[in-house]
Structure 1
Amino acid sequence: MKRSILFLISLALVTVLTACGKSNDNEKKITVAASPAPHGEVLEHAKEKMKEEGYDLEIKTVNDYKVPNKLLHKGDVDANLFQHVPYLKEEKKTHGYKIEEVGKVFTTPMGVYSKKHKDLKHLPNNAEIYVSNNPAEEGRFLSFFVKEGLIKIKPGVKIEDAKFDDIVENKKHLKFNNKQGAEFLPKTYNSGEGELVIMNSNYAIDNGLTPVKDAIEIEGKSSPFANILAVKEGHKHDKKYQKLIKVLQSKDMKNFINKEYGDNVIPYEK
């Protein structure tokens, strides 16, 4: 009888210790869903520093904007790095995701690309402009044309919040084609469709383009669309995520980004 009791106590102790071991392992591992470049490459650079801090950083590369938040919401990953705050707001509104920002990392400037024109001023009337089907970036697309005086939006509407419906003046009757995902825009550009294609630098870089050289217009350093590290709500202050954002915002990381991407990717400055 005593042996049976001792055996059961030992078995329970082993079970508890094993469970604690697994829990500790989970606390020391961070799985992040990220776009390939520069997001995934930046995280790859962060691996060694995170290892020095005692954390195993695993990167899950995803090339579709609709997937990373879904993975995070389901608990398939611990965090993601691919989006800016306006996009996250739109995703939360549409899907009810309980996701929050840990911190800003860098900006991938959006650029205007064309095989037919060298500037925006001389666009023909009724020019077709290809953009992504991401409603959170409509104001971002419009900002290029507002700046050139080709379009006006409703008074009082911030450009980052603007929608196509907010256009009150469109001098050249420009047409925005937003029927495809952002990942397909490089192919559209290469095929020569439309007058212009507007796309994020990460997709341009992935497809062999150099944004500051190949874009006829590109966002400046003051863009409000910095990409963020995001986690489930209630966890942004968790020690492991605070360690990760510290590494991602470090001087070493800024130097890496500047060396690898130049002005094509702009590190976040506090």
Structure 2
Amino acid sequence: MSTVAVARKDFLDVRRAKIVWFVGVLYALFMTLLVFVEQSTDSAPSVLDALWNLTAAGAMIIPLIALVTAYLAIAGERESGSIKYVLSIPNSRRDVVLGKFVTRTAVVSASIVVAFVVGILLAILWYPDPQLDIFGQMAALTILYALTYVAVAIGISASTASRSRAMGASIAFFFVTNVLSLFGPLQLAIDYLANDLLGLEISVNQIVFLQSLISPTTAYVNSTGLVFPDGFNTIPMELPWFLQGETMLVILVAWLVVPLALGLWRFERADLG
């Protein structure tokens, strides 16, 4: 077998997981709700406002879709012992990790694409200027964001030998990089550590950059400056180079590659006996 064969078999398993489809449908419902609310409450509805609100909601929901879809991809089979069968066909351990990543990537991406297709159709129906190019750019950016959490989940799953450990590590990662990031404590913690304890006297912008390195969610939110115009809503008119959208894209790509590589490295050295 190969990476593609592993992915094909894994897709047959993951498509039966109802929780995966539930969270995907939930995101599509949020898309529908936010597009509807904007056009029904504003005399001059703007797609940009609807997508801005969707960014805030998606920043929380998208990681849940990704983590729920992928965190048991390998750890579940290691705990049940079925991983030995998969590797005996034969497949390399790299085939397993990459095959699982391909499958979970396809499922998560499909749920996001469906949600954005629904949003585009409703925007064409309800808005005087649906701005389809903005929808397309936000869809691509959101898929990249989702895949960072898929990579993290696969990396965690490949590094752990049980469902409980994979779940615990995924919840902890989500709490630190998403909940604490979105609601402020992560930024306050970085400020306290860097300025109060270490006396570095770094600026707010530098703190936000450090937060973006720690949190894919922060990098995603900051990268939306590539889509929305300068000065829109809370987007500053000018930003230093290290907070520009292009820099945030580099960080997101790093979050896509590094956890997957580390998970593969751990899995190749794991004792599956």
TM-score, structure 1 as length reference: 0.24
TM-score, structure 2 as length reference: 0.24
Structure showing the higher helix proportion among its residues: 2
Higher relative contact order (CA closer than 8 Å, sequence separation 6+): 1
Structure showing the higher strand proportion among its residues: 1
